[in-house]
Amino acid sequence: MAEKELGYVELEWTCPNCNTRNPGSAPKCKQCGAAMPADVKFEQAAEETLITDQAKIEAAKAGPDVYCAYCGTRNVSTAKVCKQCGAALAEGAAREAQGVVGALRDKPAPPQKCPNCGTENKATALKCVNCGAAMGKAVPAAAPAVASPPRPAGIGILALILVGVVIVVAVFILLGRRSSDTVAQVADYGWRRAIAVQQLTPVTREGWLEQLPAGVDVVGCRKEVLQTVSEPVPGAREICGTPYVVDTGTGFGRVQQDCEYEVLADYCQYRSMEWVVGPPIILEGSDLNPRWPATNLRSDQRPGGQTEEYYVVFRADDRDYTYTTRSLQEYLELAQGTRWRLTINGFGQITGISPG
* Residues of the chain predicted below pLDDT 70: 137-155, 168-178
* Strand-pair partners of 111: none
Question: 128 in a domain, yes or no?
Answer: yes
- pLDDT on residue 166: 72
Cα within 13 Å of Cα(155), Cβ side: 3
Report whether 108 contacts 48 (CB < 8 A): no
Would you call 267 helix, strand, or coil by DSSP? strand
Q: What is the DSSP letter of 88?
A: B
The Cα 33–Cα 20 span in angstroms is 11
Is 31 contained in some domain? no
What pLDDT does residue 173 have? 62
What's the total number of domains in the chain?
1
Read off the pLDDT of residues 68-79 as tens digits, 9 standing for 90 and up: 999 999 999 999
- CB crowding 172-198: b at 16 or more within 10 Å, else e: eeeeeeeeeebebebeebbbebbbebb
Residue 173 main-chain phi, psi, to 5 deg: -65, -45
Q: How many CB atoms lie within 10 A of CB 299?
A: 6
- Per-residue pLDDT, 203: 96
What are the b/e assignments for 79-102, b being 16+ CB within 10 Å? beebeeeeeebeebeebebeeebe
Quick check: is 120 in a domain?
Answer: yes
Quick check: helix, strand or coil at residue 58? helix
133 falls within a domain: yes
The pLDDT value given to residue 141: 41
User: Does the pTM of the predicted model rise above 0.85?
Assistant: no
Residue-number span of the structural domain to which 120 is assigned:
110-138
Residues in the chain: 356
DSSP string, 158-198: HHHHHHHHHHHHHHHHHHHH-EEEEEEEEEEEEEEEEEEEE
Q: What is the pLDDT of residues 240-275, one digit of tens each?
A: 999 999 999 999 999 999 999 999 999 999 999 999
Instruction: Give the pLDDT confidence score for residue 174 in this predicted structure.
Output: 58
Query: pLDDT per residue over 46-60, tens digit each?
Result: 999 999 999 999 999
State how far the Cα of 275 lies from the Cα of 37, in Å rounded to an integer.
79
CA distances from 259 to 99, 238, 243, 256 (A): 18, 7, 10, 9
Q: Does a structural domain hold residue 126?
A: yes
Distance CA 140, CA 247 (A): 22
Contacts of 4 (CB under 8 A, 6+ apart): 240, 256, 257, 258, 259
| Amino acid 126: pLDDT | 87
Vertex 276 angle, CA 270 and 281, to 5°: 165
| Amino acid code (one letter) for 179 | S
Query: What is d(CA 167, CA 254) in angstroms, rounded to the nearest whole number?
Result: 63
DSSP string, 102-168: EE---SPPPPEE-TTT--EE-TT-SB-TTT--B-BPPPPPPPPP-PPPPPPTHHHHHHHHHHHHHHH
User: Is 13 within the bounds of a domain?
Assistant: no
User: Which alpha helices (DSSP H) does the chain contain, by range?
Assistant: 54-61, 154-177, 328-336
Our CA angle for 18, 65, 96, nearest 5°, is 85
Q: How much is the pLDDT for 149?
A: 55
Residue 69 has what pLDDT? Answer: 93
Alpha helix ranges (H) inside 276-351: 328-336
Each residue of 114-132: pLDDT tens digit? 988 999 999 888 889 999 8
Does a structural domain hold residue 122? Answer: yes
Residue 127 in any domain: the answer is yes
Residue-level pLDDT at 151:
56
